[in-house]
Amino acid sequence: MTEPRISDSSCKSVFLTRPEVAGRLENLPYGGQSLFSRDAHSNRSCYGLAVYANIHGVMSFVEEVAATPGGAGIRACIQCGVCSGSCPMADHMEYPPRKMIAMIRAGLRDEVLSSNAPWHCLSCYMCTVRCPRGVKPTELAHALESLATEHGYRVKDTRTPAMYRSFVQSIRGNGRVHEFGMMFRYFLSTSPMAAIKMTPLAIKLFLRQRMPLVPRHTKGKEDLARIIARFREVRGNP
Residues that bind ligand SF4 (CB under 6 A): 77-83, 86-89, 97-98, 101, 121-127, 131-133, 135, 137-138, 141
Q: How far is the CB of 211 from ligand SF4 (least distance, A)?
A: 27
- For helices 137-150 and 97-105, angle between their N-to-C axes, nearest 10 degrees: 60
Query: Cα–Cα distance between 21 and 53 in angstroms, integer?
Result: 9
**CB of 22 or CB of 104, closer to ligand SF4:** 104
Q: In whole angstroms, what separates CA 88 from the centre of its chain?
A: 21
Q: How far is the CB of 147 from ligand SF4 (least distance, A)?
A: 16
**CB of 81 or CB of 212, closer to ligand SF4:** 81
CB 183 within 8 A of CB 162: no
Q: How far is the CB of 16 from ligand SF4 (least distance, A)?
A: 28
CB 211 within 8 A of CB 180: yes
Contacts of 8 (CB under 8 A, 6+ apart): 38, 39, 40, 41
**CB of 80 or CB of 177, closer to ligand SF4:** 80
**CB of 76 or CB of 198, closer to ligand SF4:** 76
CB neighbours (10 Å) of residue 227? 12
At residue 25, what are phi and psi to the nearest 5 degrees?
-70, -35
Q: How far is CA 154 from CA 88, 137, 147, in A?
A: 24, 22, 12
Q: How far is the CB of 75 from ligand SF4 (least distance, A)?
A: 10
Q: How far is the CB of 44 from ligand SF4 (least distance, A)?
A: 30
Query: Cα–Cα distance between 180 and 145 in angstroms, integer?
Result: 25
**CB of 14 or CB of 144, closer to ligand SF4:** 144
**CB of 55 or CB of 78, closer to ligand SF4:** 78
Q: How far is the CB of 231 from ligand SF4 (least distance, A)?
A: 23
